[in-house]
Amino acid sequence: MTNFRSSYQLFLADLDGVIYEGKRAIDGAVDSIVSLQRSGIPVGFVTNNSSRKPETIAAQLAEFGLPVDPSSIISSARTGAELLSKSMPAGSRVLVVGGEGLRDQVTKAGFEVVSTVDEMPAAVIQGFSPDVAWHMLAEASYAIQKGAKWFATNSDWTIPQDKGMAPGNGTLISAIHTAVGQLPTVAGKPEPAIFGTALEHFGIPGSATLFIGDRLDTDILGANRSGIDSAVVMTGVCTRKELLAAKAESRPTYILGDLTEILGKYESPKQTKRGYKCSGAEVELLGNKVRVTAGDPKSLGALKATTALIWSSSTPIYGLDVEPELYE
């Protein structure tokens, strides 16, 4: 059994899909974070959202009943501005494609924000905003072709919205990539840079940190690349099917149903003669068939046992016959 609060000195969490979903707080998430805060454990928030200022995000969290210092919100805009500072002198002109949060961070870093190639920018930094239009992508493309260095806050292909999944910053990056034939330096998850910003801010090593997210391709992959233990919560983007098929580099250290489980003890799957068991569920590998032999196949225990079995199998998942109830 793992006791999270005694095992880690710092908790870092994603926001959308972990703390809230759109304009709604996820059940139990706020109370769980508040409980950690009252225990004296620092909690930071690492987000690829670069369109809003940390103060704006903090105000939203406060409305949910979660008091947060804006400085503890580590955005990809902040890390993107840090990458700019390491690459060019203060005062350089930077063409910003993105929202208020990104423009604010670039300005605070001492750069002059411009919006057209005619202003001779030394760099382009691109982040998501629902207001990004074709002419902005075109100006960025022209500047990059003329030699401007290209940075991006994040490369998420999709972004969750109230109505469903929508194109994310990665989709907009691909539009410019098609025009210029090169790729940007990326600040946000899954790249290690944003995790480095968070660890430096809190002054706690990655070995004593747990990162909590809902996406394997950004949150979990990024934490793994940064040497940080990770937990995926099943309240956001990640599905059971995606988790079972996860490649080694995107597999979390822990699997949580929701954030409330961070306050209790974590039960890891235990190996049996033919498979694994966890929390009353048992899953076995019978030839190439993955079958539940005890417990509810829809339970979190069954999911944890099945991931342990599949991830440790010498047969890739496409060669296994997995009981549908485990992933549907």
Type and span of the H or E element at 31? helix 29-38
Domain 77-183, CATH 3.40.50.1000 — does that match?
yes
How large is the angle between the packed helices 100-108 and 76-87, nearest 10 degrees?
Answer: 40
- Beta carbons within 10 angstroms of residue 57's beta carbon: 20
Strand-pairing partners, residue 44, are 12
Structure confidence by residue, pLDDT tens digits, 78-119: 999 999 999 999 999 999 999 999 999 999 999 999 999 999
Confidence at residue 320, expressed as pLDDT on a 0 to 100 scale: 95
Is 16 tagged catalytic? yes
Rounded Cα distance between 219 and 38, Å, is 25
8 A C-beta contact, residue 180 and residue 155: no
Catalytic residue among 16, 104, 156, 219: 16
Q: Which of 55, 44, 50, 43 is nearest to 5 (CA)?
A: 43
* pLDDT at residue number 159: 80
Q: Under CATH, which architecture does the 2-48+191-265 domain have?
A: 3-Layer(aba) Sandwich (3.40)
Q: For the whole model, what pTM was predicted?
A: 0.92
Tell me if residue 186 falls in helix, strand or coil.
strand
**Averages of pLDDT over each 10 residues, the chain, 328 residues:** 94 95 92 95 95 94 96 97 96 96 96 97 96 96 98 89 84 97 97 97 97 96 98 95 97 98 96 96 95 96 97 94 93
Q: Which two tokens stand for residue 80?
A: 């993107």
> What are the start and end residues of each CATH 3.40.50.1000 domain in the chain?
2-48+191-265, 77-183
pLDDT of residue 69: 96
Tens digits of residue pLDDT in 20-67: 988 899 999 999 999 999 999 999 999 998 999 999 999 999 999 999
